[in-house]
């Protein structure tokens, strides 16, 4: 293992490269050499179609999965929120890095007056159906525009547009030092499951590599993201469903909050569960089943029918 140069597969966006280099540096600190291998994803090539209309699971991860299974790379590094809850056959989660901010932020153009007067019309940009639904729940009269591309592209599109603001993941902007002063934290917006976390995956058969990656795993983040992704998986949701979840650890307690919205933001079901960490293995599944009983199943079924 010590003589092997690990091939790290990554997309070529600035944020993806930052994430891959973080893993590279962590491996180097453990005495393991590695190099980056750049792979284009479908999500990078089509920057026009809204993500929720593309109908592809793992739109940002599929190309890397193929490269991994074809032995072109040894590991792949992803924003964990982009990874399908069901990994491709033959691929396993090897490490989750310590989570950064899980929050969403609004980057605004001129002022934030429209945030305080809900009667004021505004145009907000996002490609996320989750963000769209939550925004419309708070601001039903606002118009939502589609915004695709990497972080740099989206910031430039905002600058050149007539939009009042656009929604971004705070962690992504902070990691590449692009968080502008004209932003506000959206503390009321529940994030995508595993938002702010970076995951490393490898081939299931590569046990030596799994052992080498284990020291990179941050257990509290792994516990929280598992609960959030179990919630998403049980609801059978993905980027085409407005599902949000956040798990936090306080002392020995794991607290999970989850929501399901209708696409238009008019209907909302929410849940909060708290369990001792030692008994929290199924907290995400339990929370999702409660949401389904409340009526969340009808929202999810309606969204599925609309896609047929």
Cβ-proximal residues to 12 (8 Å cutoff; 6+ apart), any chain: 38, 39, 40, 44
What value, to the nearest 5°, has the Cα angle with vertex 159 and ends 155 and 161?
115
Check: CB of residue 211 under 8 Å from CB of residue 79.
no
| Residue whose C-alpha is closest to residue 82's, from 183, 283, 229, 203 | 229
- 288 vs 80: CA distance, rounded Å: 19
| Residue whose C-alpha is closest to residue 146's, from 163, 169, 122, 134 | 163
Known catalytic residue at 82 = yes
Catalytic residue among 82, 104, 230, 286: 82
- 23 vs 212: CA distance, rounded Å: 12
- 270 vs 208: CA distance, rounded Å: 42
Q: Provide the 3-class DSSP secondary structure of residue 79.
A: strand
- 263 vs 206: CA distance, rounded Å: 41
DSSP codes joined into one string, 195-248:
TT-EEEEEETT-HHHHHHHGGG--HHHHHHHHHHHHHHHHTT--TTS-EEEEEE
- Please identify every residue annotated as catalytic: 82
């Amino acid at each position: 293992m010590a003589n092997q140069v690990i091939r790290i597969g990554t997309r070529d966006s600035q944020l993806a490269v930052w994430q891959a280099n973080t893993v590279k540096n962590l491996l180097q600190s453990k005495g393991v050499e590695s190099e980056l291998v750049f792979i284009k994803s479908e999500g990078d090539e089509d920057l026009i179609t809204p993500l929720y209309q593309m109908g592809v699971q793992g739109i940002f991860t599929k190309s890397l999965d193929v490269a991994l299974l074809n032995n072109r790379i040894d590991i792949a590094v992803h924003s964990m929120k982009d990874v399908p809850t069901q990994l491709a056959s033959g691929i396993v989660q090897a490490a989750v890095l310590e989570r950064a901010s899980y929050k969403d932020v609004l980057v605004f153009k001129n002022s934030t007056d429209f945030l305080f007067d809900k009667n004021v019309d505004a145009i907000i940009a996002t490609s996320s159906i989750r963000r769209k639904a939550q925004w419309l729940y708070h601001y039903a009269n606002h118009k939502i525009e589609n915004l695709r591309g990497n972080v740099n592209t989206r910031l430039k599109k905002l600058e050149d547009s007539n939009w009042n603001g656009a929604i971004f993941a705070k962690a992504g902007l902070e990691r590449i030092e692009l968080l502008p002063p004209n932003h506000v934290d959206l503390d009321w917006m529940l994030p995508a499951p595993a938002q702010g976390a970076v995951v490393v995956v490898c081939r299931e058969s590569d046990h030596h590599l799994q052992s080498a990656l284990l020291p990179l795993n941050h257990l509290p983040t792994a516990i929280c993201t598992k609960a959030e992704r179990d919630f998403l998986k049980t609801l059978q949701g993905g980027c085409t469903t407005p599902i949000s979840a956040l798990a936090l650890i306080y002392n020995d307690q794991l607290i999970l909050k989850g929501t399901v919205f209708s696409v238009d933001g008019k209907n909302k079901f929410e849940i909060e569960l708290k369990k001792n960490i030692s008994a929290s293995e199924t907290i995400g599944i339990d929370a999702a089943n409660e949401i389904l009983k409340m009526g969340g199943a009808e929202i999810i079924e309606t969204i599925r029918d609309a896609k047929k």
